[in-house]
């Protein structure tokens, strides 16, 4: 990497730029570490090396959420050679929905009652557990022995940190019988506040010593990091490649949840916690059955400051495990638990500027640039201002003193202006009506709160944002095509559309002439080869990733998955979307009937496929990339697998939500309207026209009892 590509002050970086640069710095610093520690042949002076480490540190302090697992700050010297092995969890590690007040909690409880078809005032037993902001880990026990431990990672797959976990004294090596043959136990690794402060002081001291050695021109040794909060300290400590370092850190573990188990060894969460205690895990002593969540919440809020560790809320879990099983999950969170967060911490600072960024759909988003301020555990310099109406409504002006808040890892938000009545206040903020990136008109359509650039394909910001999205991790995941390179190739005129990425090899010789791309040091010569290999590796991708990568508005990863499962192939999807242009057509009805695809999403899709330039870009791309077909769900696993179901009328023993969730779990497609493609119509009481239509089309009709039986519910 050359210095000219790293011109921005850390404060001026966007989140995406920061992520990109942290990745580049991690690689670059690792490279120098290797030369220094293993080959004893440094390429750069200590001062230059230090500059990199400090730059990395400065960015990490501003963007703590972006700190990488392989961050140079959490590595020590020569241990950087290899990373951690990946480890797939047997049951996914999910997250929790949040509640912020009594109404949220009441809605959570009401949803449970509705789902389980309980009376509105039916009692529900909950267990409350303080929510510690540490790192969740997954511990696998086989025949009662601890065999493997991993970080949460993306929830599906984490990093195998077994040796590090073995250094925790709260972790039992063996479980006392009886135990299930196989069980995953989940908990939180954290650092007490006092331990964190002591550890931070130690690190600060070590850093000062290092600075002094530098002054004296002595050998520096490994980089030293100063953690910004207990969570950060725990994360850094747990991700050491040298477990003797983890052993020296004061880490603790509270166990709280069960992942996969060969048999479920308890009937309530309370009994599960008893079992954990019997197995010699530490369960948070404040975990307790509650009758009044609001009261418990108030109690914890007042005791919070006196606790040995930081908590950011309380987790409430439904006690009955059979009910938990029935409720299951929606998206990435269980229906049976919620994290009720404490109110966000607030702080004041000065608004230095308002920046307007252009997103990939042309949306102009204002962002506050502020004097650095410590809030919610980190120092922040940027906050979201949402949109122009928000700025006007709160009358936020440059130079104002503003209140901002940050809850957990949410982006800081500007709450309002503190000194609006001061005499020397500047003029009201005028939102730009032209795109800051391309100068095209930026307009607001109908009742849209968002102002959008009309530059479309000529707007470099949109093109670059779209290309960045296309290459990003959740999308095509092309390694080496991060923000910096996307911008570079775009500026050089080599990449204007996604398909151009797959034509980059035609320009390989030209790229190799560029500074840092093969002309200079030996290490650079592989850069082009590696990049082209990474691109080549993406010529086949899952259909859902491909759809997500197209960057169609409102088609996030979740919707892309729904579409992929429904249409099975890109050819089918392309054809059906074109047919769906006609409102009332079969194809349009079909699109509208996909569970989870609402009318707004349907419109975006149809509009995307109605534009010839989008079809051209798509077809051009399809010359290089093959999206993998999604096979029809197997026909044999359940009577509903791969079939289309419609529910109509009122079910008596099941809520509609539970019935639909069950059908989907059995791999059925649940749709709203009856057509020739419907396989079953489940008819409850007072069924109307849908039952009649089913009869007319000869679609098989099921009673509630028949559905229960076929879906494997016990008889009501």
Which is nearer to ligand IVH, 131 or 469 (by Cβ)? 131
d(CA 63, CA 20): 12
**Contact code string over 377-416 relative to ligand IVH, x by CB under 6 A:** ----------------------------------------
Whose CB is nearest to ligand IVH? 136
CB of 131 to ligand IVH, least distance (A): 4
Active site residue 394: no
Q: Contact with ligand IVH (CB under 6 A): which of 89, 111, 131, 269?
A: 131
Cis peptide before 178 (omega within 30 of 0): yes
CB of 652 to ligand IVH, least distance (A): 30
Q: Shortest distance, CB of residue 335 to ligand IVH, whole angstroms? A: 10
Q: Please report how close the Cβ of residue 377 comes to ligand IVH at its closest, in angstroms.
A: 15
The Cα–Cα gap between 591 and 22 comes to: 41
Instruction: Pick between residue 151 and residue 678 the one whose CB is nearest to ligand IVH.
Output: 151
Question: Of the listed pieces 89-97, 386-394, 543-551, 565-573, which binds ligand IVH according to CB under 6 A?
Answer: 89-97
Q: Which of residues 152-171 bind ligand IVH (CB under 6 A)?
A: 152
Calpha distance 165→148 (Å, rounded): 9
Q: How many residues bind ligand IVH (CB under 6 A)?
A: 15
Alpha carbon dihedral 105, 109, 110, 115, in 10-degree steps, equals 140
Q: Does 18 engage in binding with ligand IVH (CB under 6 A)?
A: no
Residue 408: alpha-carbon gap to chain centroid:
14
* 257 contacts ligand IVH (rule: CB under 6 A): yes
Residue closer to ligand IVH by CB (options 131, 643) is: 131
Residue among 39, 86, 131, 468 flagged as catalytic: 131
Give CB contacts under 8 A, 24+ apart, made by 559-568: 559/596, 559/597, 559/601, 562/594, 562/595, 562/596, 562/597, 563/594, 563/597, 563/605, 564/630, 565/630, 565/633, 565/669, 566/594, 566/669, 568/543, 568/629, 568/630, 568/631, 568/632
Q: Which residues of 93-122 are buried (b: 16+ CB within 10 A; e: fewer)?
A: bbebbbbeeeeebeebbebbbebbbbeeee
Q: How far is residue 126's CA from residue 113's CA, in Å, rounded to a whole number?
A: 13
Q: How far is the CB of 150 from ligand IVH (least distance, A)?
A: 13
Among 19, 127, 245, 337, binds ligand IVH (CB under 6 A): 337
Residue 152 beta carbon to ligand IVH: minimum distance, rounded to whole angstroms:
6
Interface residue with ligand IVH among 1, 35, 91, 94 (CB under 6 A) is 94
Residue numbers 285-324 binding ligand IVH by CB under 6 A: 315
CB 314 within 8 A of CB 304: no
| Contact with ligand IVH (CB under 6 A) among 159, 188, 465, 704 | 188
Residue found under tokens 């944002």? 465
Burial 444-472 (b: 16+ CB within 10 A, else e): beeeeebbbbebeeebbbbbbbbbbbbbb
Task: Name the segment binding ligand IVH (CB under 6 A); options: 125-133, 266-274, 418-426, 492-500.
Answer: 125-133
- Burial degree of 591 (CB within 10 A; 0-12, 13-18, 19+): buried
Contact call for residue 184 and ligand IVH (CB under 6 A): no
Instruction: Output 331 or 493, the one with its CB closest to ligand IVH.
Output: 331
Is residue 334 within the footprint of ligand IVH (CB under 6 A)? yes
The tokens 């005028």 sit on which residue?
430
Q: Give the angle 459-463-467 at the CA atoms, nearest 5°.
A: 170
Candidates 79-87, 129-137, 395-403, 688-696 — which segment interacts with ligand IVH by CB under 6 A?
129-137
Minimum distance between the CB of residue 338 and ligand IVH, rounded to whole angstroms?
10
Distance CA 234, CA 151 (A): 12
Nearer to ligand IVH, 140 or 459 (CB): 140
Tell me the C-alpha distance between 138 and 154, whole Å.
12
- Kindly state the helix (H) or strand (E) to which residue 693 belongs, with its residue range: helix 689-697
Shortest gap between Cβ of 475 and ligand IVH (angstroms)?
A: 24
Question: Which range binds ligand IVH by CB under 6 A, 4-12, 43-51, 91-99, 196-204?
Answer: 91-99
In order of 362, 495, 502, 703, the CA distances from 481 in angstroms are: 21, 11, 12, 54
**Angle, in degrees to the nearest 10, between helices 230-238 and 193-215:** 70
CB under 6 A: which stretch of 39-47, 127-135, 234-242, 652-660 binds ligand IVH? Answer: 127-135
Tell me which stretch binds ligand IVH (CB under 6 A): 77-85, 94-102, 258-266, 446-454: 94-102
> Residue 151, SS3?
strand
Catalytic positions are 131
| Residues engaged in binding ligand IVH (CB under 6 A) | 94-96, 129, 131-132, 136, 152, 188, 256-257, 315, 334, 337, 339
């Amino acid at each position: 990497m050359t210095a000219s590509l790293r011109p921005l002050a850390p404060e001026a970086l966007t989140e995406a730029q920061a992520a990109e640069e942290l990745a580049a710095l991690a690689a670059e610093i690792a490279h120098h570490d290797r030369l220094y520690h293993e080959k004893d042949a440094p390429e750069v002076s200590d001062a230059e090396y230090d500059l990199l480490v400090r730059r990395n540190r400065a960015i990490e302090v501003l963007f703590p959420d972006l700190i990488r697992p392989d961050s140079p700050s959490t590595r020590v010297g020569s241990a950087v050679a290899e990373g951690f092995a990946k480890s797939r969890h047997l049951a996914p590690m999910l997250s929790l929905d949040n509640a912020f007040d009594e109404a949220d909690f009441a809605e959570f409880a009401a949803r449970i009652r509705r789902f389980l078809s309980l009376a509105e005032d039916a009692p529900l037993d909950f267990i409350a557990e303080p929510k510690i902001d540490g790192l969740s880990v997954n511990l696998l026990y086989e025949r009662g022995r601890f065999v493997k431990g991993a970080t949460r990672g993306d929830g599906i797959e984490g990093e195998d940190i077994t040796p590090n976990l073995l250094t925790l004294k709260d972790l039992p090596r063996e479980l006392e019988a009886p135990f299930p043959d196989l069980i995953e136990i989940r908990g939180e690794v954290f650092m007490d506040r006092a331990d964190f402060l002591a550890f931070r002081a130690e690190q600060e001291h070590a850093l000062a010593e290092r600075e002094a050695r530098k002054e004296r021109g002595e050998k520096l040794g490994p980089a030293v990091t100063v953690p910004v909060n207990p969570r950060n300290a725990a994360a850094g400590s747990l991700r050491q490649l040298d477990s003797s370092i983890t052993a020296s850190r004061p880490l603790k573990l509270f166990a709280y949840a069960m992942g996969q188990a060969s048999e479920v060894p308890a009937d309530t969460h309370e009994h599960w916690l008893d079992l954990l205690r019997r197995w010699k895990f530490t369960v948070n002593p404040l975990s307790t059955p509650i009758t009044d969540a609001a009261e418990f919440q108030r109690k914890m809020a007042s005791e919070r400051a006196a606790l040995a560790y930081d908590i950011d809320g309380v987790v409430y879990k439904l006690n009955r495990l059979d009910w938990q099983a029935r409720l299951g999950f929606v998206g990435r969170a269980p229906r049976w638990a919620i994290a009720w967060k404490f109110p966000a911490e607030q702080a004041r600072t000065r608004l230095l500027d308002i920046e307007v960024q252009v997103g990939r759909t042309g949306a102009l988003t204002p962002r506050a640039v502020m004097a650095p301020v410590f809030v919610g555990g980190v120092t922040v310099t940027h906050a979201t201002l949402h949109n122009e109406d928000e700025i006007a409504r709160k009358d936020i002006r440059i130079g104002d003193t503003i209140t901002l808040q940050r809850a957990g890892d949410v982006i800081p938000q500007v709450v309002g202006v503190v000194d609006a009545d001061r005499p020397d206040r500047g003029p009201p903020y005028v939102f730009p009506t032209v795109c800051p990136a391309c100068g095209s008109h930026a307009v607001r359509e109908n009742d849209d709160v968002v102002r959008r650039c009309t530059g479309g394909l000529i707007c470099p910001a949109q093109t670059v944002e779209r290309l960045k999205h296309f290459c990003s991790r959740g999308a095509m995941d092309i390694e080496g095509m991060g923000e910096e390179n996307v911008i570079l190739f775009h500026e050089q005129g080599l990449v204007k559309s996604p398909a151009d990425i797959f034509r980059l090899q035609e320009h390989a010789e030209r790229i190799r002439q560029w500074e840092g791309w093969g002309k200079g040091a030996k290490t650079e010569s592989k850069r082009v080869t590696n990049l082209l290999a990474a691109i080549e590796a993406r010529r086949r991708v899952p259909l859902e990733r491909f759809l997500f990568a197209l960057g169609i508005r409102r088609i996030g990863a979740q919707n892309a998955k729904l579409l992929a499962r429904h249409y099975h192939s890109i050819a089918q999807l392309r054809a059906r979307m074109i047919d769906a242009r006609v409102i009332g057509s079969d194809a349009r009805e079909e699109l509208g009937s996909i569970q989870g695809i609402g009318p707004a999403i349907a419109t975006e899709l149809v509009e995307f496929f109605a534009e010839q330039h989008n079809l051209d870009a798509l077809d051009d791309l399809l010359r290089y990339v093959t999206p993998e077909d999604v096979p029809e769900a197997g026909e044999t696993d359940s009577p509903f697998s791969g079939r289309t179901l419609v529910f109509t009328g009122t079910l008596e023993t099941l809520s509609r939500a539970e019935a639909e969730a069950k059908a989907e779990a059995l791999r059925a497609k649940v749709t709203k309207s009856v057509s020739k493609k419907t396989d079953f119509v489940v008819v409850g009481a007072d069924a109307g026209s849908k039952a009649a239509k089913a009869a007319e089309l000869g679609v098989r009709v099921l009673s509630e009892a028949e559905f229960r039986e076929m879906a494997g519910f016990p008889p009501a």
